[in-house]
């Protein structure tokens, strides 16, 4: 959250810019000194503006806003710990690339990886082939389908809704789909 910062000096103090008649006036110097204290955080932000638009450098709350601004899929990513904040920054940084591959298997897999931190299992009905002879066989299944499954350490009902929303937003528009969230199988330790 941006605001006043105790002890932050202005890079451009207003007192040095006053006309000569006010340069020696103590009351005027204290007055513009107060303005310097209020304006210093704004000038600091403007000096560092490029960093605010770099997801790896921006403050976490600004990164979330930046994600909304560029259309990143950040729903459900909590930024209250280091792992969540890293996932948020990665999702915002990948937003432009993900928009280019939206509707593809690779784009869907990357979006799920960024949102949940796990590798999805994606099965689909499509296929691609070429033939030198006309009227060759058509690859894939006749009915389009898409199934996305993930395994989480402690899944909740909300995770299935989040996955459903994510797949609905990033799948090919014509493709019917199903989603599944299951728990990771734990091995028995002796």
CB neighbours of residue 68 within 10 Å: 10
103 pLDDT above the threshold of 50: yes
CB neighbours of residue 118 within 10 Å: 14
pLDDT tier at 123, thresholds 50, 70, 90: very high
Phi, then psi, of 180 in degrees rounded to 5: -150, 130
Whole-number Å distance between alpha carbons of 169 and 14: 51
Whole-number Å distance between alpha carbons of 42 and 36: 10
Q: Residue 151 pairs with which residues in a beta bridge?
A: 182
pLDDT tier at 164, thresholds 50, 70, 90: very high
Give the residue, 64 or 178, on which the prediction is more confident: 178
Whole-number Å distance between alpha carbons of 75 and 79: 11
Whole-number Å distance between alpha carbons of 82 and 157: 24
Q: Are 68 and 74 in contact (CB under 8 A)?
A: yes
pLDDT tier at 93, thresholds 50, 70, 90: very high
Phi, then psi, of 72 in degrees rounded to 5: -75, 145
Whole-number Å distance between alpha carbons of 53 and 170: 24
Q: Are 167 and 177 in contact (CB under 8 A)?
A: yes
Whole-number Å distance between alpha carbons of 97 and 142: 31
Phi, then psi, of 85 in degrees rounded to 5: -65, -40
pLDDT tier at 190, thresholds 50, 70, 90: very low
Least confident of 84-88, 94-98, 103-107, 137-141: 137-141
1 pLDDT above the threshold of 60: no
Is pTM, for the whole model, over 0.75?
no
CB neighbours of residue 120 within 10 Å: 22
| CA atoms within 13 A of residue 11's CA, in its CB half-sphere | 8
């Amino acid at each position: 959250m941006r605001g006043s910062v105790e002890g932050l000096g202005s890079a451009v103090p207003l007192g040095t810019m006053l006309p000569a008649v006010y340069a020696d006036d103590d009351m005027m110097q204290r007055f513009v000194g107060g303005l310097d204290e209020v304006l210093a955080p704004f000038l600091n932000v403007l000096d560092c503006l490029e960093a605010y638009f770099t997801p790896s450098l921006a403050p976490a709350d600004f990164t979330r806003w930046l994600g909304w601004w560029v259309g990143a899929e950040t729903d459900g990513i909590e930024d209250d710990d280091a792992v969540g904040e890293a996932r948020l920054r990665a999702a915002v940084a990948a937003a432009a690339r993900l928009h280019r591959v939206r509707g593809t298997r690779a784009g869907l897999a990357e979006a799920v990886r960024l949102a949940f931190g796990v590798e999805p299992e994606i099965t689909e009905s499509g296929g691609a082939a070429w033939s030198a002879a006309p009227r060759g066989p058509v690859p894939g299944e006749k009915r389009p389908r898409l199934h996305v499954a993930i395994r989480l350490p402690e899944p909740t009902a909300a995770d299935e809704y989040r996955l459903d929303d994510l797949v609905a937003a990033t799948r090919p528009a014509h493709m019917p789909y199903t989603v599944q969230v299951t728990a990771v199988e734990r091995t028995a330790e002796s």
